[in-house]
């Protein structure tokens, strides 16, 4: 199977299972117009994130890595009216695009966008006393293990941590890799394996974003 076929099937699933969503289409157009890389989650993975929010009955969600807000919008929509999603974006210009998209999706009141490097922002969230039901980690892969460690503090027992890009076209198995993103994600696997605070698994995904995968970790 070719990557074109993976993408075709992904589009087919979206067309045959998910309702048309002009707002999400506009968000992707706005991202492209602003020159953002198309590295947001796919529509089907966005809907999976929303489903996971529902399954853990999420009221409070943490996202690390906002980009234009495509995944944040999926998750925020899955929250009750008094729910809140905190999303962290390091790049101020990117954050402005996301802010406009949150307004476009009528989610300004439900989404709290923090601009800064996640490792600088996360300690403040602990000080503010947040307890999240779900955390989605999708930023610089070099810091994945550190983000999982913060998530162990910030996510309530029984809550879920979802980490994107944990397969990277199979490059994750390369013992000789010197790519900092691969090394960061390999460190995540090593940390998760030893971390008694989590019960974790990971799986491969193919689709419009190629061949990659997600890690799911339940906070014990
Ligand atoms: C893969 S994109 C996020 C995609 C987004 N979750 C979605 O699916 O719509 C990664 C984002 O993380 C941001 N980022 C990179 N390093 C970061 C850091 N140290 N702290 C916070 N955000 C960071 C990047 O600027 C980029 O916008």
The 10s digit of each residue's pLDDT in 127-151 is 999 999 999 999 999 999 999 999 9
pLDDT surpasses 70 at 28: yes
- Mean pLDDT rounded to a whole number for the chain: 97
Residue 67 beta carbon below 6 angstroms from any ligand 1 atom: yes
Residue 91 beta carbon below 6 angstroms from any ligand 1 atom: yes
Q: pLDDT exceeding 90 applies to what percent of the chain?
A: 99
Q: How far is the CA of 66 from the centre of ligand 1 (A)?
A: 5
Please report the pLDDT score of residue 87 as a whole number.
Answer: 99
Confidence of residue 8 (pLDDT cuts 50, 70, 90): very high
What does the block give as tokens for 29? 């157009």
Q: How far is the CA of 30 from the centre of ligand 1 (A)?
A: 17
Q: List, edge to edge, every strand of the sheet that includes 132-137.
A: 111-115, 84-89, 60-64, 132-137, 155-164, 210-219, 198-207
Residue 121 beta carbon below 6 angstroms from any ligand 1 atom: no
Please report the pLDDT score of residue 2 as a whole number.
Answer: 82
Q: How far is the CA of 81 from the centre of ligand 1 (A)?
A: 26
Do the Cβ atoms of 56 and 134 come closer than 8 Å? yes
pLDDT surpasses 70 at 1: no
> Best of 34, 94, 140, 205 to mutate for ligand 1, by most ligand atoms within 8 A of CB?
140
Residue 48 beta carbon below 6 angstroms from any ligand 1 atom: no
Q: How far is the CA of 37 from the centre of ligand 1 (A)?
A: 11
Domains and CATH numbers, the chain: 3-160+204-210 (3.40.50.150)
What is the model's pTM? 0.98
Cα distance between residue 147 and residue 208, in whole Å: 26
Q: At what angle do helices 22-33 and 70-77 cross, to 10 degrees?
A: 160
Which atom of ligand 1 is closest in space to residue 117's alpha carbon?
Answer: 20
Angle at CA of residue 21, ends 16 and 23, nearest 5°: 160
Instruction: Read off the pLDDT of each residue in 103-114 and give the average, rounded to a whole number.
Output: 98
Residue 71 beta carbon below 6 angstroms from any ligand 1 atom: yes
């Amino acid at each position: 199977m070719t990557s074109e076929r993976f993408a075709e099937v992904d589009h087919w699933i979206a067309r045959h299972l998910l309702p048309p969503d002009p707002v999400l289409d506009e968000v992707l157009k706005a991202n492209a117009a602003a020159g953002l890389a198309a590295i947001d989650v796919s529509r089907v993975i966005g809907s999976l994130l929303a489903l996971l929010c529902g399954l853990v009955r999420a009221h409070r969600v943490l996202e690390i890595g906002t980009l234009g807000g495509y995944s944040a919008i999926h998750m925020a929509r899955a929250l009750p009216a008094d729910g809140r999603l905190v999303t962290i974006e390091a790049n101020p210009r990117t954050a402005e695009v996301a802010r406009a998209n949150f307004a476009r999706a009528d989610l300004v009141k439900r989404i709290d966008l923090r601009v800064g490097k996640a490792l600088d922002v996360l300690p403040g969230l602990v000080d503010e006393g947040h307890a999240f039901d779900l955390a989605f980690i999708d930023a610089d892969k070099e810091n994945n293990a550190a983000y999982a460690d913060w998530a162990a503090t910030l996510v309530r027992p029984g809550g879920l941590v979802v980490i994107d890009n944990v397969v990277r076209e199979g490059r994750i198995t390369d013992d000789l890799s010197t790519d900092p993103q691969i090394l960061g994600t390999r460190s995540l696997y090593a940390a998760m394996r030893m971390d008694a605070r989590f019960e974790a698994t990971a799986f491969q995904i193919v689709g419009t974003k190629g061949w990659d995968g997600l890690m799911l970790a339940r906070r014990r």
